[in-house]
Structure 1
Amino acid sequence: MNNVVLRLSNVKKTYRSGDEGSLPVLQGVDFTLHAGELVALVAPSGTGKSTLLHLAGLLDTPDEGDIEIAGQNTRGLADAGRTALRRDQIGFVYQFHHLLAEFTAQENVMLPQMIAGVRKAEARVKAQHLLGQFGLAHRVKHLPGKLSGGEQQRVAIARALANNPVLLLADEPTGNLDVRTADAVFDELLNAVRGQGLAALVATHNEELLARMDRVMTLRDGKLVERVQP
């Protein structure tokens, strides 16, 4: 396959503290993610899952190694270039929805589009369409505080997809939901990823979701390795 969306090559990251010295977290990660591929990241807390996602999402920079997004090497890329790549190519979903409380569901999905230069009317239509896909056509005018947990997370996923990213990064996207709601939300996330041909890297502790993934990766001794499924 040559449709590589994310490539990590010998990525290393160490956190340093004046009192505690240094803590190596990632020690030479190599990983390739293709369009249309859904990969799970499963590892114990404190092993570097969030660090890896932050690096892949250009929210942090590695000490060593290369990170390529859609064929573009980000090494040495200026802040403006990194911001543009995040905005145009990457969608993020977190355990907590992080919706803006003073804006409606529709406005939350419109905002990233408008930041990217999309006209307000066009952004509104796109937001209504996405929210409708997630069964929220009747909730577009509601503030986040008036939505259930599952509805809030659906809005967050719609927002992540608003700018047609090529890469979706999700950190425990259903970890804050009850089992039944988590199952339904993950089904919708999976359908969206498959339908749009995105590359998705999803950190999760939910073992029941793993059978639906193309691959399952884990962190071992600071390196990313494929976990053999039973």
Structure 2
Amino acid sequence: MSNVALSLRGVKKTYRSGEDGVLPVLQGVDFTLHAGEIVALVAPSGTGKSTLLHLAGLLDTPDEGEIEICGQRTHGLPEVGRTALRRDQIGFVYQFHHLLAEFTARENVMLPQMIAGVRKADARQKAEKLLGLFGLAHRVSHLPGKLSGGEQQRVAIARALANNPAVLLADEPTGNLDVRTADAVFSELMAAVRGQGLAALVATHNEELLSRMDRVVTLRDGLIIPR
């Protein structure tokens, strides 16, 4: 059985620029991510990093090429199927936590589970377990506004892991944190990913973090290049 969690083959994406202009962003990306590995994505600003992550996370569709999630082809897949695949197999962590301000830390981690059909009591138990793993057992009933930046990002990571995804996509997950907090949060993220055997693609410019990844790839001229 294949252990390929994410595969992009010949993926191209172009955006319109003005009335007649076009802006080619991805020009035939080939990339494979295996279960259990953590890969760093390095990309200068404006080179298509966010576009690549959005396509890989099924938040957008390519103009050409195929994206597979755990062997499931997504080309031509109806939106309901894309939504289900995104919900069940993909976790997202962004530079900004995007927590729901009116819900507690516990509730933020419960919500994606309940949307997926998990019973409230089970979702609550799983949320508390995950938050405990990130050292937040004493903060589960706090609203995001009462949490520090590092705590907010820990909740966001717990939320991303709540539905046991096969693929974790992280866009500068520690970019808003100070150096010490970033190191601690990233260490916890790495431990969680390793513990669950996920495949993770992490966009970062932090050289110290890059050294802790399994491998590093660069997005340049619309293509993925091994570093």
Structure 2 unaligned runs (5+)? Answer: none
Q: How far has the Cα of 1:18 moved from its partner?
A: 3.4
Per-residue CA deviations over 1:84-113 (Å, capped at 9, x if unaligned) read: 001000000000000000000000000000
Name the residue aligned to 1:152.
Answer: 152
> C-alpha distance in 1, partners of 2:86/2:218?
24
CA distance in 1, matches of 2:217, 2:223: 10
Query: What residue in structure 2 maps to residue 177 of structure 1?
Result: 177
| 1:41 aligned residue | 41
1:65 aligns with 2:65: yes
The whole-number CA distance in structure 2 between the counterparts of 1:146 and 1:18 is 43
The residue that corresponds to 1:120 in the other structure is 120
In the alignment, residue 192 of structure 2 is paired with which amino acid?
A
TM superposition score normalised by structure 1: 0.97
- CA drift at 1:20: 5.9
- Supply the AA of the counterpart residue of 2:221: D
C-alpha separation between the residues in 1 aligned to 2:130 and 2:220?
37
Q: Which amino acid aligns with 1:121?
A: A
CA distance in 2, matches of 1:20, 1:53: 26
Q: TM-score, normalized by length of structure 2?
A: 0.99
SS at match of 1:14: strand
Query: Partner letter of residue 177 of structure 2?
Result: L
Matched, 1:139 2:139: yes
C-alpha separation in 2, matches of 1:49 and 1:226: 15
How far 1:2 moved relative to its partner?
Answer: 3.0
Query: What is the CA–CA distance in structure 1 between the aligned matches of 2:20 and 2:207, rounded to whole Å?
Result: 34
Aligned to 1:96: 96
Q: Is 1:21 matched with 2:21?
A: yes
Quote the RMSD (CA, aligned, Å): 0.9
Figure out how many residues of one structure are paired with residues of the other and give that number: 227
Structure 1 stretches of 4+ moved >4 Å: none
Q: Which amino acid aligns with 1:206?
A: N
The 3-state SS of whatever aligns with 1:75 is: coil
Distance 1:110 1:80 in 2: 22
Aligned partner of 2:8: which letter?
L
Q: Compute the displacement of 1:120 (Å).
A: 0.3
